[in-house]
Structure 1
Amino acid sequence: MSGPHRLSAVDLDEASLPSATAEIEHARRVAIFDLVEQNSFTPAGAEGGPYQLKLSLQDSRLAMDITGPAYRKGHLLSLTPLKTVIRDYLMICDSYYEALRGSSASQIESVDMGRRGLHNEGAEAMKARLEGKVEVDHETARRLFTLVCALWRRG
């Protein structure tokens, strides 16, 4: 997607990243790639992008550093309202990866439906946390939620 209000780069603070399995690392890379390829990202008060976003965790809060042409702003967001959905999403992702290793197609599909439902719930919670700071569409919120989970995961 091209346009003035979009992300052109997303970085995760390496110091914030916990160790990761191959599946988790793959999810991080895919989420960043997909996010940069197609997104809608409009910071409040910004005249136009594109923007660069750096995400990190600071004392269990999400730090978002946004820069763009004539725009630079940071936000520190409490993740307390997202803790339950993050924890549930990470647990079901673990179940999904385990199911891929030897469950039937119907079991994998069942776990995947739950995973997608929690992912959508997390995206809506992410949009709510960003309200008044950054306007994003649903798909952008989903990818941001994936990255928050990647930062949150503890190994």
Structure 2
Amino acid sequence: MATRMNSKRDLKIKPQAKAEPARTATKTVRATEEQLVYAGILSMGRKIGLAGIVASFLVYLSGILTPKMPLEKVPVYWHLSSSEYMKVAGIKPGWAWLTMFQNGDMLNFFGIAILGAISLVCYLAIIPKLLRKKDTTFAMIAIVEVLVLAFAASGIIHIGE
């Protein structure tokens, strides 16, 4: 004959063990001296570069310096490729912009150049620290990075029009 279960006490329920919260090992990760130097230079360079871009744009908009291409003519040339625009504006390729600082629309290249050069400066700053620690693998990587960045910025290789 089957027995009827009428209450909880009739059920044979095995109490479950309380689940313990998952224990995760907390590991403190600290930045190396080189990482802190790199980050500090990168942060400062980023601020200087962006401030330079904003300031040069304000100079351009204000008309304090005569632009190479007047602001009202810019929409006429938007459809041109950069090489076509450079021909129309009389701008030489490469590092020629360094000689055009008297033009308000060329000033923005200084801020952009700062942003582009930050990594190079960061690597140059950490190479002596890596060599002092005898971390030759990372020192060699940093030296190669400097060489590649300097070579790319030199304009020796000309790709495009």
State TM-score, norm by structure 2: 0.30
More helix by share: 2
State TM-score, norm by structure 1: 0.31
Larger radius of gyration: 2
More strand by share: 1
